[in-house]
Structures are given as C-alpha cells and as structure tokens.
Structure 1
Amino acid sequence: MKMSSLVAYDNSESEDDSCAQKEEGAPAPSHTDPAGCSNSDLRPRPADSVSDQSVTEQSGSTLHFYPKLQNWDGGYCSGQKDKHFKDSCAKPRRAGPLQAPLCVPDASNPAKRVSASASGVRPYVPKRQRQARSEETEDPANPPEQVLGDLTRKSSVLSDGSLRVKACLGEKPKAAGIPRKLLMSLEGHQGPVNTVQWCPVPHVSHLLLSASMDKTFKVWDGAESGRCLRLYTCHSGAVRDASWTPCGQQLLTGSFDNTAAITDVETGQQTVKVDNQFKVMCAVPHPNSPDVFLCGGYSSVVKAWDSRCCKVVKAYKAAIQQTLDILFLRGGKDFITSSDCVSRDSADRTLIAWDYQTTAKVSNQLYHERYTCPSLALHPQEESFVAQTNGNYMALFSSQRPYRMNKRRRFDGHKVEGYAVQCDFSPDGAILASGSSTGSAHFYDYQSGRVLHSVQAHSQPCLRVSQHPVLPATAATCDWAGEIKIWH
C-alpha cells in the first residue's frame, strides 16, 4: 500500500531536541536509556507520547508514529526523511576525538532529555523567550539607566518643578546676591562647554541648558539634584551656541555642521532644522516674533529665518569675515552684531546696529578701539548694554540711538585672551558677572564698575557665568574642560 508522510516543525524546539554528545570511552547506552540509539527507539509509540517533531505514517485505518529522524553530521544533527535513517542512526560517521552515537531523545518527557550542557552545545532560545527572561530579570526597584536621547518615551522635563524655586516664586524679589560657595558640580560633557543658560520661565527656571563642543547639548536640574534630565544629539558638529526660546518649551542651537535647529524640550524631536551654508557661531530668537530667529557665523551675512516655512526672510550683509554674537535690543526693532574685524579702519564693522525690518545699518560707529567683542549682554532694566572685549574689559553702551559708548565707566580686572568669554546681568541689573581665561568668575557692581567678588571657579578658562533669574545669589559657570558648576 502506498505510504504518505506528514512532518510538523517547530522552530522554538528544533535545537532543543538535538542530539547530545558524549566523550569517547563512555559506556554504551542500554536499551532502556532514552539517550541511546537502540532499536527499541524506532518502534511505534502511542500517539500521546509523541511530540510535535514526529513523522506520521498512515496505512489504512492504522496510524503509526515515529520520532523525527536525525543524522549525525560533524557534531550536529540534521533531520532526514530518506529510507537510510536506520543505518545513519546505527552507524554514525566519525567526526573527531569526541564522537557519540546518535541520540533520539524522548520529546514527550522533558525530564528524560539529555542536558545540552553535557555536550557543550548551547541550546537555542527563541527570541520571545529571551525577551521575556530579560524583562523578568530587571529589578523594578532599580531600573537601568534610561537613554536620555530616546524619543519614544514620555519625558517630564518641564512638568517636574523645584521646591527651592517654588518657595521663591511667592516671595517678593530680593536683591541680587553674590554666590560664594560651591553647591554642586555637573560632569558629563566630553568637550568644552561653550555656554550655560537658565530657563527664562520662572516656574521651570531650575532647568539649566548647556552646549558643548562634543556635538551635544543637555538640560540639567541645576537647583536640586544636579542630574542630567535630557541629552540631545541633533548635530553632527560642535554645538557653538544654544538658548531657550521665550516660551521655555523649545531650544535654539547653532552648530559647526552649518545648521541651526529648534528642538522640543520634552520629546527631544527637532521641529526645525535649516542649513545656513556656513558654520554657525550664534543663533538668537526674536524676542517678539517666536517664529523668527537670526543666525550668524563664518559668513559676512546674518540670516533671519522663519521657522514656519524654513526660509530666509531677511539677510543683513556687511563687509566682515564672521559674526561673533548677536544681541536684540529692547522691543526687537534693532539688534547689534559683533564681528572679528580689528584693522585700523575697522571702526565701522566691529559693532554694527541694524534695523530689523529694513535690514539697513542704523549705526556703524559704536566702538572705535582695535579689539574684537566676543559677546554682548543687555541690561534688564536700563537702556544700555555691554560688550565683552579682548582688551580685558567690558565696555558700556547706550541701547538707544546713536548707541554711544560710556567712556567713564568700564568693567575690568578679568582676562579674555582670545576666548569666547561671555557676560551676564543679574535679574535686577545690579550685578554684572563675567568669566575669565584664568578660570575665575568675577562679579561687578554695575553702578560703580568695581569688582565685588572673585572666585576661582575652574582650573581651565571659565567661558560663561549665568546668574539665576529667580534664586538669589545663585549662578552657573562652565569651562573649557567640559565642567559645569553651580554656586550659591
């Protein structure tokens, strides 16, 4: 009678039912040993004792079951369906010093299966089973460190507040104090930290933004825990500048990869990314138009971008090589740019005042000394701004036309020496802070110009001192070695 066969396969058990090897010289298995290859293993078995890996043969009304046939091949087993399976099992091929007869384990009884560890063969574990085991081994009390740049999980960067900040929100604003003691040190950047900035929104002002030459920028809890809340890896080049948008929900960054990007603080997703076709040194959001931001850098043109259409809406051209910093004046109608021109006749290009709407130069005779100005800062109360100069002092200017320099007041005592050292005012404008190439942080009295206090903050050049907008006598500093410190 013609025979027909059906074979059922199960990937999750294909290797678990493989043959186990035994060292040469071991006693031969008996007919009762399930690991042996006796003729008794080839006899028909009841239907309830046969696993899914079996060969069924139907002859008339009688159903015979045989175990899935294996063939020894160099230490591994492979299924065979030919008629020579008995010879292959009875006379296995020699494959080396460790040779064992073919084993056909009893799949119906897992207790009788030969351990794969005895033969040195690792059993196959299905992917779903491996994932289930990894989830069971995780300790829910001590979860593994989460990837801060993962965009798939929900974040609570803005929803989590600080008790210190909340306690100061209901009080009457106090006079700005001078930080003198180290509160905490934040480490995590692998390159120089170009800038640090507190979030301008009061109820989440515990958030501290940092941008580094290691191609990343981060948001920290700078008020209490000091931990990094989110890591952003949106750029392929060094992040030269970073700032909060006025709403505090997005971050504007400029990088040496020729791009400027707007990133959502919560999700970490880039909402806008534009190619400036030059290395971006500074990126500044418009104070009154949240959809517009300016970019300057290794180019003679400053570009104004509209984030809704990702197009250049205005261009400000000057005979310069690169733009070092951009500062919007109060109201957003005018802004100041700083360039790297230091020639004898460069007084018309060192600091330039622009009309935002018409792109015309309002004034180009602001600063007549032969020093570059790596950074600018606007006074929060008065109509004035300061320019950090490579002459190792900060010059004071009027923020109203014709933007004249105050020659009777200057802030000196620190060193710049070619570093992009930045300066910052306290919320009430009474204290002006600046970093130094010597690693120290200097605090000046704005009215008199004298030094109130100096602290040796870092061993490397201190590039920025950012004073907290809510907490009194609190400031953050960053240095050329990638370290961030919080002072109180």
Structure 2
Amino acid sequence: MASLLGANYDSSSDDEKKPNTTFTSATTLVAAPEVNVEDPSRLQLIAGASNSTALTYNATYDDLTRPSQGPVNPFKPNGGNNGLKRKNVPTGHAQEEAISEATFTAQHRTFQSLGYSRNPSQPDAFVGNLDSVAQHGGRDFVQMKPSKQVSAALRRKRQKKGDSSIVEGEGAYLGPWAKYENDDQVYEEEAAEEDYELASDEELVEEDEELPPSELPAMATDYQEDASQAESTEFHGSEQFDYQGRTYMHVPQDLDIDLKKEPGSTKNFIPKKLVQTWKSHTKPITSLRFFPKTGHLLLSSAADGKAKIWDVYHQRELLRTFSGHSKAISDTNFHPTGKTFLTASYDRQMKLWDTEYGKCISRFTTGKTPHVVRFNPDPEHSHEFLAGMSDKKIVQFDTRSGELVQEYDHHLAAVNTITFVDNNRRFITTSDDKSLRAWEYGIPVPIKYIAEADMFAMVRACPHPSGKYVAFQSGDNQVVVYAATDKFRQNRKKGFRGHNNAGYAIDLTFSPDGQFLASGDSGGFACFWDWKTGKMYHKFQAGGREGSAVTCLEWHPQETSKVVTGGLEGVIKYWD
C-alpha cells in the first residue's frame, strides 16, 4: 500500500504512452497587490505613538483634513477642501438659531405686515425690505402697539358696534365695519392698532362700558321670548254645532261613501282633475294631514306660523285657525285618535292642540329647532311622541307629564324623518348626515346603521300600507325604498325616477291600497308611479305657475282617487 501512494499512474488507454510530468508552483499570483504610494518615512511619523499629544513634524493641510477611514465625505463641513453644503430646505440651506417662540412670532408677524425682520445671526442687521426698515425705524409690531390711553381714545372715536338682533335701521349691528368719526384723517396709531394689536378679550371687556342688566340687549338667538306669545284660536265655520249639538269632529254619515271602513279596502285610481281650491294661508304650505282613518277633516300648516282645519265634505270650508307660533311651522302630526295634534315650529316650540276647540294643551321645547314630530301609533304609548331636532338628537316626550323621557343621540347632523315600523316596536330615522338608523323604541342605541358611499340625504319618508317597506325621498332626484323588517336593506329593484326634488323637502304618499306612489316636484308637478313596476303613470301640473314647487301631498285614506297638494304658492288643491 505504501508503494502505491507514491506511484504515478498512466492513462487508461494502452494505445498511448505519455511521459510522467510533475507541476510545481514557482510564484504566487495576487489579484490586488498592496501598493504604497506614500513616503514610508512620512507614514511612520504620522503613526507615531498612540498616546502622544504632540506632533514631531510639520503636518500638511491634507493630513489634517484626511478622514480617519475611507474616502472624503464631501457633505461634511470639515470633510475636505471642497466640502459641499447639504440642502435642508427646498430653496437652500436654513441657518439654525436658538430664539424664543415669542421673538419668532413677533419677527414673523413683522415680516408679514411690513416686509422686514431682524437677522437672527446679526441682531443689529435686517433682512427684507430695507426701505420699510428706514420708514418705520426698524420697529417690530410689538413696539408699534399703541398705549392703552391711545387705544381708548381711538375707541371713543368709533361708532358703536350695535345690537346683533337688529338687521337694519337705528342701532343695527355694525361689528367690525363700524367707522370712525373722521375717516379722512389717518391716524398712524389707529392703523397700528387695526393691523398689529393683539389685545386680549379680557382687556376689551374691562374697558367697554358696562350696561345694567335691564338695558342689556336681547340675544338674537334667544328663543324664550317666543314662549310668551299667547296661543289663540278662531272658529270660521258656518255653524259650530249641528242640530244634535255635535261639532265637526263627528264623522258624517250622510255621504255616498262609508268613512268608517278599513282604509285600503277599495281599489285606487290616479286623480286627473281639480275639484276644490282652499286659500287662507299667506305663505308657503309646509304640511297637509288628513284626519286619521276617516279623512273628513284636513289639517294644514304654513310658513305664516298658523295651522288650519278644513272641512273636506259638505261646505268644504275653513273651520278653525290655530295661532301661537311666531315663526314658520315645520311639521304637524295627528294623534292616532285625532282628538289632538302636534305642531313643530322654527320658533323652537312644539305645541299640543285640542282639535275640537283649539285650546293649546301643552308646550315642549329643548331650545333647538324641531324638524319632524311623530306620535307613537301604538295605543300603549300613544301619549308619547318623538321629535327630530336640528342638533342631531331625537327626543321623546311624555304628553301627560310634559317631561323629556328619552334621548336618541347618534346622528351626526339634523334629523329629517321618523317612521314607525314593525308594529310600532321600532322606528327608522334619516338625517342630513346621509345615513339611515333603525332603533328599538325606548332604547337609545341603534340596532342598524346604513351609510353607503352613494347615499344622499333622505328628507321625507312614507311607509307602505303593507308595513313591509318604507319609501324615502332622496336628494338625487329619486325615491329609494328600504325594507321595514329586521335587515332594513335597500330594495335596489325599486327606484322611482322622473321628478326633480333637489333642494326641497317634498312629501311622499301611498295610495291606501298600496298600488300607487305619489310625490311632489320642484317644477310644480304631481307625479304618480306604479308600485310594482316603478313606471311613472301620470304627471300633471299642480302648482299655480311654472316653477312653483309642490312640497306637500297626501292621499285621502278612504276615497279611491282623491289627493290634496300644496306648495310654495300657499294654495291647497284637492284633486279627483
């Protein structure tokens, strides 16, 4: 075995015989040899002793600025002969200086107003508009602020700001536009005060004249003044009692129609002709409500702050006017029995009225504007009502005690509609926040929240007579439909288009049998769709003139084809 280790083997081929060869390496190849270009003696001097603090030779500038390791960094301040300046702002290099925030604010405001400021690195020098420096003597705006005596003298020469509740005439609000006694004369101190003074509110309050409480002006937003307005009523009918001593609350029996039958038990048709016009309101109509179930009376409200009861049958005359609001009425709602009704107004008051004799039974307010009011239709809770307010809340009042018993506060903008569903155990609300929320009655936490990217604010609502759907007037010129059951999903198959409603709160109404959907229009039309197909059947001009929007619309609960409309022209029209 030992002899085999040192043997040289030939090729396996027996045909060729090659001579034995042995390779030996004479030199080693180095790919990157170390080349010393410096003077060895100088390098030895540079190295020196590691703990030495003295130089034993004259070092050149290149030696003093050479990096400790690697190439020269061109951006370091001491990184070589041609060290570059790194930009720290888009326009160059900003010099860092340590100054207080107050000094910086003063110089910044001075530069904005006068065009110059002090150079932070050279406090005696200025940067910016040097002509302005010479004109103002280099003063900043703090130094130019006038004294308290000068400021008081200037204020005495100025007109009073006026009362914010007065728009025109004597004592009207002027605010920052109040002039000085002599506008032709230019006060340097006045300009300094107007442009640069940052007086605290506390100082201004101390220097203003104090008025006694009795002479203080009433705030423009003070709604408590409106509560003092006395409610009144006036009967306009031909006779208040019939031969049996009954008032207009009695359901007439001498008609060719049974007003006591169940609404929706007969087939409905679309109206085509005008049969009655009622004129008494002086401003646009804001709501129209038929008497519950029978429809023999019509309740109307308008922007003139009055509510009126009309006779639908017999003489078709104005029966009673209810006065008590100082501003426009926003909504009305009958109690399920019809004996009382609610009015909500922009004077921030909600009032409960007796339908028969016109007495105001009670008042309710939260200090905010109510947009919609709804009695609970359930007999157990019919003494309670909900109100959607301008401050994003839905409030629940008890008419027996007059107290606020519940508050639903989840919307992000003013509430527009309240609709009871699911046998009055739940209700749906919509708001200007472009969302829909469903609630359990009495529980202030929503059980469903719907807010899609393509949704618009829904301003009016009407439940379908079947109780399965709710139709909403959407702000994109269409009527959308949502289920009134557990999931509250939108029914994408049912969309009603062909009318214009953008910018208005236009009512919706279903025919009692649920076959037709009707809506007003901003162009003065009344539009009628087939509920099943979504096709528009009919559209006629219901406004008095072109462009007079029809905003209120209500289908008679017992008649087959009678609809009442009202709008901006202030006239109520009855169609058959």
Scaled by the length of structure 1, the TM-score of the pair is 0.65
AA matched with 1:351: L
- Please tell me whether residue 231 in structure 1 is matched to residue 316 in structure 2: no
Please tell me whether the aligned partners of residues 295 and 303 of structure 1 are also in contact (alpha carbons under 8 angstroms): yes
User: What does residue 158 of structure 1 align with?
Assistant: 249
User: What does residue 235 of structure 2 align with?
Assistant: 148
Please tell me whether the aligned partners of residues 251 and 259 of structure 2 are also in contact (alpha carbons under 8 angstroms): no
User: What does residue 470 of structure 1 align with?
Assistant: 558
Shift of 1:292: 0.3
User: Among 285, 288, 296, which residue is 1:206 paired with?
Assistant: 296
For 1:211 and 1:482, the matched residues in 2 are separated by 10
Please tell me whether the aligned partners of residues 149 and 268 of structure 1 are also in contact (alpha carbons under 8 angstroms): no
User: What does residue 435 of structure 1 align with?
Assistant: 520
User: Among 398, 401, 425, which residue is 1:333 paired with?
Assistant: 425
User: What does residue 444 of structure 2 align with?
Assistant: 359
Shift of 1:366: 5.6
For 1:199 and 1:168, the matched residues in 2 are separated by 11
Please report the RMSD computed on the Cα atoms of aligned residues, expressed in angstroms.
2.1
Question: 3-state SS of the aligned residue for 1:374?
Answer: strand
Distance 1:242 1:168, change over 3 A: closer
User: What does residue 372 of structure 1 align with?
Assistant: 457
Question: 3-state SS of the aligned residue for 1:409?
Answer: strand
Distance 1:158 1:370, change over 3 A: same
Please tell me whether the aligned partners of residues 303 and 315 of structure 1 are also in contact (alpha carbons under 8 angstroms): yes
AA matched with 1:186: W
For 2:401 and 2:258, the matched residues in 1 are separated by 41
Higher relative contact order (CA closer than 8 Å, sequence separation 6+): 1
Distance 1:366 1:341, change over 3 A: closer
For 2:539 and 2:253, the matched residues in 1 are separated by 28
For 1:276 and 1:165, the matched residues in 2 are separated by 46
Question: 3-state SS of the aligned residue for 2:485?
Answer: coil
User: Among 362, 387, 401, which residue is 1:295 paired with?
Assistant: 387
- TM alignment of 1:293-442, pairs within 5 A: 293-342=385-434, 350-365=435-450, 368-442=453-527
Distance 1:367 1:431, change over 3 A: farther
Gaps of 5+ in 2: 1-232
For 1:240 and 1:421, the matched residues in 2 are separated by 12
- Report which of the two has the higher share of helix: 2
User: What does residue 240 of structure 1 align with?
Assistant: 330
AA matched with 1:364: Y
Shift of 1:298: 1.0
Q: Which moved more, 1:161-170 or 1:389-398?
A: 161-170
User: What does residue 175 of structure 1 align with?
Assistant: 267
Please tell me whether the aligned partners of residues 343 and 350 of structure 2 are also in contact (alpha carbons under 8 angstroms): yes
- Please tell me whether residue 189 in structure 1 is matched to residue 281 in structure 2: yes
AA matched with 1:421: I
Please tell me whether the aligned partners of residues 215 and 235 of structure 1 are also in contact (alpha carbons under 8 angstroms): yes
User: What does residue 76 of structure 2 align with?
Assistant: none
User: What does residue 180 of structure 2 align with?
Assistant: none
Shift of 1:402: 1.5
Gaps of 5+ in 1: 1-145, 343-349
Please tell me whether the aligned partners of residues 442 and 454 of structure 1 are also in contact (alpha carbons under 8 angstroms): yes
Among all aligned residue pairs of Structure 1 and Structure 2, give the percentage whose two residues are the same amino acid: 27
Distance 1:355 1:366, change over 3 A: farther
For 1:367 and 1:401, the matched residues in 2 are separated by 18
Scaled by the length of structure 2, the TM-score of the pair is 0.55
User: What does residue 479 of structure 1 align with?
Assistant: 567
User: What does residue 82 of structure 1 align with?
Assistant: none
Please tell me whether the aligned partners of residues 327 and 377 of structure 1 are also in contact (alpha carbons under 8 angstroms): yes
Distance 1:162 1:253, change over 3 A: farther
Please tell me whether the aligned partners of residues 519 and 528 of structure 2 are also in contact (alpha carbons under 8 angstroms): yes
Distance 1:167 1:354, change over 3 A: closer
Cα shift readout 1:214-266 (whole Å, capped 9, x = no counterpart): 00011111234221111001222211101211001111111111111111111
**Which structure 1 residue ranges, 4+ long, deviate > 4 Å from structure 2?**
165-172
Shift of 1:159: 2.4
Shift of 1:356: 1.4
Q: Which moved more, 1:221-230 or 1:379-388?
A: 221-230
User: What does residue 89 of structure 2 align with?
Assistant: none
For 1:255 and 1:149, the matched residues in 2 are separated by 23
Shift of 1:290: 1.3
Q: Which moved more, 1:441-450 or 1:351-360?
A: 351-360
Q: Which moved more, 1:158-167 or 1:238-247?
A: 158-167
Shift of 1:481: 1.5
For 1:159 and 1:167, the matched residues in 2 are separated by 13
Please tell me whether the aligned partners of residues 478 and 499 of structure 2 are also in contact (alpha carbons under 8 angstroms): yes
Question: 3-state SS of the aligned residue for 1:364?
Answer: strand
Distance 1:223 1:251, change over 3 A: same
User: What does residue 342 of structure 2 align with?
Assistant: 252
Shift of 1:440: 0.5
Shift of 1:303: 0.3
Question: 3-state SS of the aligned residue for 2:416?
Answer: strand
Q: Which moved more, 1:467-476 or 1:158-167?
A: 158-167
- Please tell me whether residue 263 in structure 1 is matched to residue 353 in structure 2: yes
Cα shift readout 1:253-293 (whole Å, capped 9, x = no counterpart): 11111111111111101112111211111000001111100
For 2:314 and 2:506, the matched residues in 1 are separated by 27
Please tell me whether the aligned partners of residues 366 and 403 of structure 1 are also in contact (alpha carbons under 8 angstroms): no
Shift of 1:424: 0.7
Please tell me whether the aligned partners of residues 321 and 340 of structure 1 are also in contact (alpha carbons under 8 angstroms): yes
- Report which of the two has the higher share of strand: 1
For 1:253 and 1:470, the matched residues in 2 are separated by 24
AA matched with 1:241: D
Please tell me whether the aligned partners of residues 478 and 495 of structure 2 are also in contact (alpha carbons under 8 angstroms): yes
Shift of 1:164: 3.7
For 1:361 and 1:194, the matched residues in 2 are separated by 29
Distance 1:224 1:368, change over 3 A: farther
Please tell me whether the aligned partners of residues 234 and 322 of structure 2 are also in contact (alpha carbons under 8 angstroms): no
For 1:222 and 1:330, the matched residues in 2 are separated by 31
Please tell me whether the aligned partners of residues 251 and 296 of structure 2 are also in contact (alpha carbons under 8 angstroms): no
The number of residues matched between the two structures is: 332
Shift of 1:194: 1.0
Rg comparison, structure with higher value: 2
Question: 3-state SS of the aligned residue for 2:458?
Answer: coil
